[in-house]
Amino acid sequence: MAKQRVVVLDTTLRDGEQTPGLALTPEEKLEIAQALDSLGVDIIEAGSAITSEGERKAIKLISKAGLKAEICSFVRAAKEDVDAARRCDVDSVHLVVPTSDLHIRYKLKKTRAQVVQMALSTLEYAIEHGLKVEFSAEDATRSDQKFLLDLMKQAEERGAHRACLCDTVGILTPERAREFYSRFVRMLKIPVAAHCHNDFGMATANTVSAILGGVREVHATVNGLGERGGNAPLEEVVVSLKHFYGVRTRIKTRKLYSVSKLVERLTGLPIPPVKPLVGDNAFAHEAGIHVDGVLKHPSTYEPISPEEVGQQRKLVFGKHVGTHAIESELKRMGFKPTRKQVLEIFQRVKRLGDQGKTVTDTELRAIIDSVMGRKFKDLVKLEELTVVSGNKITPTSSVRVRFMDREVVESGTGVGPVDAAMNAIRKVVEGISNIRLMEYHVDAISGGTDAVVDVVVKLTDGKRIVTARGISGDIIMASVQAMLNGVNRLLWDRQMRG
Ligand code: KIV
Ligand code: ZN
């Protein structure tokens, strides 16, 4: 197996954007490309230039952004696709040709000979025009292997710079991936890339196996975005290669979490909490035995340190909590609790858990204050809230609050009334603490338009992250309540830190 550095082609902006329902603006694509570049990706497949005016604008913006990565456009075996890519000033094209009879006969309605002719003449055209070419076989794993190898050899002879074989519908297994890719590595002189889909949840394992078979380049997407089950997730491939096989890439793994979150925010596709490495629960612990173990030695229930992928360890307080977690949290807050107080808090948290609730930081705070006999004073208290919204005006909110015993009036605008109200509250504390809303979840507890809603927010002041809840029949009030609870908790923590 090669100890050589593996090249990473990120296709979040092409294959990832093919996720049904997903469409990014040129500016959003540029922001993601810049993040991928600073993450250390070698090649960015920025899109498919022939697709639309907006797509061309995005690829052009990315090509002109002065990034270190090679900028590539997807092209079909057609000269107009290459011309569109050239006009976007890309460094290379990912020239893709279907090679299985299934695709050739039913999708293209052509013969093998016609496909070979189209593919090779487009390859020559791209090379003549100074482009690097990654020559790719779509549905390679269901293609006649002799036909496929023949085509790849001809592409190599005509100057293709790299070859890529796509497991388009994710039908490989790790054993077959190693065997399949190693054959092309042996038979071709140019570098071979693996492009694996995740229809059976095997994409990471298959990509890693392809590397063990001698492949020098991997295709992947941030958060595993892509059609159907998605593509091989970049974060999983890179970290697995490093940890299990000592195979290096240029990826700065500490940036993985922030890039993953950026992609989540701009695509609007939420990362499942249980997603390996970048999910919210990847380094979260609730169960008593686990928390006890992690507090004594993090490796007991963490295969790598959360910081390695830019994450933080989280202790979650709910039904499965143990007394060690409570004790440790109390100490972190500066309390010296008795055993009886720890047990009382433990039982109250469990009771909430049994009612099906996770306990937010502010709720835990309230339990601790009442058991420890300390009164947590809200530094910001809402006195009046006004929100104006409609189809012809910018949603605007004004708030009057008591902040550290002074009256403060602030206003904010937003994309909707909730956003406007949240912005107004953020402004109240702006001079003291730079509080940022990281997440916002809303659940309707009952049905109908008069439903009681449960809003949970996650906020940070850059030092600490807190979760807080607000419940009301009015979504704006529930949101404001959650925001104020979180803001008060962060300010209180800040006071404790002096
Ligand atoms: O999965 C695939 O086959 C592809 C090609 C079109 C490159 O994404
Ligand atoms: Zn693909």
Per-residue pLDDT of 417-437, as tens digits, reads 999 999 999 888 887 778 888
Show the tokens assigned to 274: 């249980």
Residues 361 and 384 placed together within one structural domain of the fold = no
Residue 440 to residue 468: CA distance in whole angstroms? 10
Residue 274: inside a domain? no
Kindly report the pTM of this predicted structure.
0.84
For the Cβ of 197 lying below 6 angstroms from any atom of ligand 1, the answer is: yes
Residues 194 and 152 placed together within one structural domain of the fold = yes
- pLDDT bracket for residue 373 (50, 70, 90): confident
What does the pLDDT read at residue 375? 66
Q: What is the per-residue burial (b if ≥16 Cβ within 10 Å, else e) of 186-216?
A: eebebbbbbbbbbbeebbbbbbbbbbbbbbb
- Report the separation in Å between the CA atom of 481 and the middle of ligand 2, taken as the mean of its atom positions: 45
- Report the separation in Å between the CA atom of 170 and the middle of ligand 2, taken as the mean of its atom positions: 9
Residues 198 and 334 placed together within one structural domain of the fold = no
For the Cβ of 136 lying below 6 angstroms from any atom of ligand 1, the answer is: yes
Percent of the chain clearing pLDDT 90 (strictly above): 69
Angle between helix axes 417-429 and 475-496 (nearest 10 degrees) is: 20
What does the pLDDT read at residue 372? 83
Residue 474 to residue 459: CA distance in whole angstroms? 21
Residues 365 and 385 placed together within one structural domain of the fold = no
Residues 321 and 384 placed together within one structural domain of the fold = no
Residue 1: inside a domain? no
Residues 246 and 288 placed together within one structural domain of the fold = no
Which atom from ligand 1 is nearest to the alpha carbon of 14?
Answer: 8
What does the pLDDT read at residue 128? 98
Give which of 61, 46, 150 is closest to 92, Cα–Cα: 46
Residue 267: inside a domain? no
Instruction: State which of 234, 251, 268 marks the end of a domain.
Output: 251
- pLDDT bracket for residue 450 (50, 70, 90): low
Instruction: State which of 372, 402, 425 marks the end of a domain.
Output: 372
Residues 136 and 213 placed together within one structural domain of the fold = yes
Report which DSSP code applies to 114: H
Residue 51: inside a domain? yes
> Candidates 9, 15, 51, 172: which one to mutate for ligand 1, based on the most atoms within 8 Å of Cβ?
15
pLDDT of residue 315 exceeding 80: yes
Considering its fold, how many domains does the chain have in total?
A: 3
> Candidates 108, 165, 166: which one to mutate for ligand 1, based on the most atoms within 8 Å of Cβ?
166
Q: How much is the average pLDDT of 381-408?
A: 90
- Report the separation in Å between the CA atom of 257 and the middle of ligand 2, taken as the mean of its atom positions: 23
Residues 391 and 360 placed together within one structural domain of the fold = no
Percent of the chain clearing pLDDT 70 (strictly above): 97
- pLDDT bracket for residue 218 (50, 70, 90): very high
pLDDT of residue 377 exceeding 80: no
Residue 212: inside a domain? yes
pLDDT tens-digit series, residues 129-140? 999 999 999 999
Q: What angle do CA 206, 211, 212 make, to 5 degrees?
A: 95
- pLDDT bracket for residue 368 (50, 70, 90): confident
Of 232-246, 304-318, 456-470, minimum mean pLDDT range: 456-470
Which residue has its alpha carbon closest to ligand 1 atom 8?
A: 15
pLDDT tens-digit series, residues 151-209? 999 999 999 999 999 999 999 999 999 999 999 999 999 999 999 999 999 999 999 99
In terms of C-beta density within 10 A (0-12 exposed, 13-18 middle, 19 or more buried), how is residue 241 classed?
buried
- Report the separation in Å between the CA atom of 228 and the middle of ligand 2, taken as the mean of its atom positions: 10
For the Cβ of 168 lying below 6 angstroms from any atom of ligand 1, the answer is: yes
pLDDT of residue 294 exceeding 80: yes
Where residue 224 falls (left for φ over 0; alpha for ψ -120 to 50; beta otherwise) is: left
Instruction: State which of 372, 395, 417 marks the end of a domain.
Output: 372
- Domain coverage including residue 312: 284-372
Beta bridge mates, 439: 458
Residue 265: inside a domain? no
Of 361-375, 382-396, 414-428, minimum mean pLDDT range: 361-375
- Strand, helix or coil for residue 456: strand
Residues 124 and 205 placed together within one structural domain of the fold = yes
Report the CATH number at residue 443.
3.30.160.270
What does the pLDDT read at residue 4? 82
Residues 360 and 385 placed together within one structural domain of the fold = no
- Report the separation in Å between the CA atom of 459 and the middle of ligand 2, taken as the mean of its atom positions: 36
